[in-house]
Amino acid sequence: MKLSWQRIGALCGLLGPVLFSFFIGLAILVYPGEYNFLLDHLSNLGSTEVSGVPSPLNYLLFFLAYSSAAACMVPFWLALRSVFDEPRRLYHTSLIGSISGILSAVFLSASAFLPGNLLFHQHRWVAIFFFFFLSSAIIVYSYAIMANRDYGNLYALFGLIFVAVLYLHALVPGFESPLVQKVVMFGLIFWSAIQSFKITRAFK
């Protein structure tokens, strides 16, 4: 059976988080020395060297994790927008949400090209823009979901919780730990997987 582009896009919303987790897991396993999941940032996995030891494999796996997730996000955001064609106000709302989501994918992909140990400030700024655009997209879609009686408010609640944790992480002292960063990152990335389970059934 031939799959529609919307169904393929919806499935990409599930594939992206899976690929991201797979490559990040591999990067942790081959990390030179010992990677502390509680104390080390994700960007450490993308360093070109660790304690003076070149780590090209780590950088490659980090690059694959971020770039594959970003590539999958684009068709997912396009498919998600097509769910909200009616009423007209939700069409425009979802359009804004998907534009913001695609912009977040651009910055996520850009961060894969900027190793934190060599280009710290550039890496930091693209990460900030990634989180800003992705959280904005989730907030916009949370409104659209709650305004759509057939969708289910629980799908909106999941995203809003992780957006709240993101802003706690960014703005409140005591929430800036690497562990909270990982909770936020994986939570926001897996938001698309949650939506994918919902919308895949709407497409053939």
* Residue 106 identity: V
What residues contact residue 13 under an 8 Å CB cut-off, 6+ apart? Answer: 72, 73, 76, 79, 80, 192, 193, 195, 196, 199
- For helices 120-147 and 178-199, give the axis angle rounded to 10 degrees: 40
Q: Tell me, what's the pLDDT at 2? A: 60
Q: In whole angstroms, give the CA distance from residue 163 to residue 132.
A: 10
**Model pTM score:** 0.90
| pLDDT tens-digit series, residues 168-192 | 888 887 777 888 888 888 888 889 9
Reference 158, options 192, 197, 191, 198; nearest CA is 191
| pLDDT tens-digit series, residues 72-131 | 999 999 999 999 887 888 999 999 999 999 999 999 999 989 988 889 899 989 989 999
